[in-house]
């Protein structure tokens, strides 16, 4: 509905306002704020902010990033010098001191990705150089360390206890405005789907989050850290906040931090299942009373799931007593479980409730190092795909390492490539891959790389050919 404006009455009203302003006595009248309202002290977030602010820091990063080049010229002429072109960039974000004694700061992976230099500015103005302890792209969590005295840390809360409607406060450095504080409520829990390649279980909030807030603190009214601010939804061309912000739950960030401290990276376990979401129609077909859980569509032979007795058609409804909302929730639960830990699985099979136990395994321990049975693959190490890749709909085996000078390297194969078929036959796991490649003098590999795909031909005469195509 359009609003119609009437200039004359408004103009007359403005003249009246001006007249009143001019004729008013030149006295300033002010009233003191009441000390109490209905017998209670005036509410204010100032004491909370006073306690929490010193634990929030500004992060400035110098980074090296790859420059996008023309794939047409790369395909036919290759990259110049055999290396991607790079350039220096600068970025800014926020961080939260979670361990004052060790100088540990939680932030986002995307804040420090590719960093060649990380500088931290404290609330008291001190500027320090930080070292990267570890970073995990899949969860967008990073851990850095500074060496300094008299640091203030924030208490870690329990994000599992958050409920929609709880009041929260976001603190960070948006657009360079240091220690900006905004408040709001928890608008939603368990949000996902922003990036299919990530582990997502976001807290949604309407507390204003803007560029530069990334890595900052989301705290409850007890002053406890409940989330790491990570992303916003703009809904248009404007990069600013429209009331939909997302934070990584502190419980997830703490789990990632523990592994970054111990290993320097996150060692995600493998259950060995392909899964899909449970729709109301599927719930009816699988005799599941409630619309929650994840349907197992495929079990990898020899995997932890296979050894535990999980079958295609099983519906996993809980893990270690934690109800599974959907397939994303199951993926997150497995992906953040340490290698070697046991999972107690609650399953519905043909209407019956079953309890199964599975030990999470390291996919790297099931790696296949090519040997004399597959001479064309010499110098390559292959492993099963992790749960994240499987949940994205990928099927195949992962090339985890390539030795310099090997046929695989000469024909352009890289660590991170996913082999989806061999000689036009689909590959779903290591066992199938090994059977299809054994004692072969010619292999036609279909390779998935990022968002594109290509074919690679390996021959025993060393004249392998490569032909690639990118999805548009």
Q: With contact defined as beta carbons under 8 Å apart, do 317 and 306 qualify?
A: no
> What span, in angstroms and rounded, lies between the C-alpha atoms of 33 and 43?
11
> What span, in angstroms and rounded, lies between the C-alpha atoms of 185 and 46?
17
| Cα-based distances in Å from 186 to 33, 44, 56, 165 | 29, 19, 20, 5
| Active-site position among 102, 110, 179, 292 | 110
Residue 110 annotated to the active site? yes
Residue 421 annotated to the active site? no
| Active-site position among 140, 201, 206, 314 | 140
| Active-site position among 183, 198, 214, 303 | 214
Reading the block at residue 334, the tokens are 């497995």
Q: How far is CA 98 from the centre of its chain?
A: 20
Residue 265 annotated to the active site? no
> What span, in angstroms and rounded, lies between the C-alpha atoms of 378 and 184?
57
| Cα-based distances in Å from 388 to 68, 81, 122, 247 | 26, 34, 36, 20
Half-sphere exposure of 468 (CA within 13 A, CB side): 21
Q: How many CB atoms lie within 10 A of CB 351?
A: 9
Which residues are the active-site residues? 110, 140, 214
């Amino acid at each position: 509905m359009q609003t119609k404006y009437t200039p004359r009455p408004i103009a007359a009203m403005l003249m009246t306002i001006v007249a009143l302003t001019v004729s008013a006595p030149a006295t300033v009248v002010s009233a003191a704020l009441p000390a109490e309202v209905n017998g209670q002290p005036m509410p204010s977030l100032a004491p909370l902010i006073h306690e929490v602010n010193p634990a929030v820091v500004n992060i400035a990063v110098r980074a090296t990033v790859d420059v996008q080049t023309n794939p047409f010229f790369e395909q036919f002429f290759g990259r110049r010098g055999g290396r991607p072109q790079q350039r220096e960039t600068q970025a800014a974000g926020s961080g939260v001191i979670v361990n004052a004694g060790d100088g540990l700061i939680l932030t986002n992976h995307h804040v420090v990705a590719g960093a060649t230099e990380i500088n931290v500015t404290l609330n008291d103005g001190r500027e320090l150089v930080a070292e990267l302890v570890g970073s995990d792209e899949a969860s967008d969590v990073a851990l850095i360390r500074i060496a300094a005295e008299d640091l203030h840390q924030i208490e870690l809360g329990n994000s599992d206890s958050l409920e929609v409607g709880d009041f929260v406060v976001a603190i960070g450095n948006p657009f360079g405005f240091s220690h900006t504080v905004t408040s709001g409520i928890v608008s939603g829990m368990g949000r996902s789907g922003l990036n299919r390649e990530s582990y997502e279980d976001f807290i949604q909030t309407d507390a204003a989050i803007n560029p530069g807030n990334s890595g900052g603190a989301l705290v409850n009214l007890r002053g406890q850290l409940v989330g790491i601010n990570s992303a916003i939804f703009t809904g248009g061309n404007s990069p600013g906040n429209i009331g939909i912000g997302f934070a990584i739950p502190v419980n997830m960030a703490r789990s990632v931090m523990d592994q970054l401290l111990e290993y320097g990276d996150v060692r995600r376990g493998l259950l060995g299942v392909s899964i899909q979401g449970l729709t109301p129609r599927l719930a009816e077909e699988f005799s599941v009373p409630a619309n929650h859980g994840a349907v197992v569509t495929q079990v990898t032979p020899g995997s932890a799931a296979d050894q535990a007795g999980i079958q295609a058609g099983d519906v996993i409804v809980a893990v270690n007593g934690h109800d599974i909302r959907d397939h994303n929730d199951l993926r997150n639960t497995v992906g953040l479980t340490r290698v070697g830990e046991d999972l107690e699985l609650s399953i519905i099979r043909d209407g019956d409730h079953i309890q199964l136990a599975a030990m999470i395994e390291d996919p790297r321990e099931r790696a296949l190092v090519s040997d004399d049975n597959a001479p064309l693959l010499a110098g390559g190490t292959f492993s099963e795909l992790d749960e994240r890749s499987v949940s994205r709909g990928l099927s195949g085996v992962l090339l985890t390492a390539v030795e310099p000078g090997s046929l695989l390297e000469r024909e352009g194969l890289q660590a991170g490539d996913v082999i989806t078929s061999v000689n036009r036959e689909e590959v779903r796991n290591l066992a199938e891959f090994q059977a299809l490649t054994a004692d072969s003098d010619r292999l036609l590999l279909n390779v998935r790389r990022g968002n594109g795909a290509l074919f690679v031909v390996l021959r025993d005469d060393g004249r392998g050919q490569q032909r690639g195509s990118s999805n548009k």
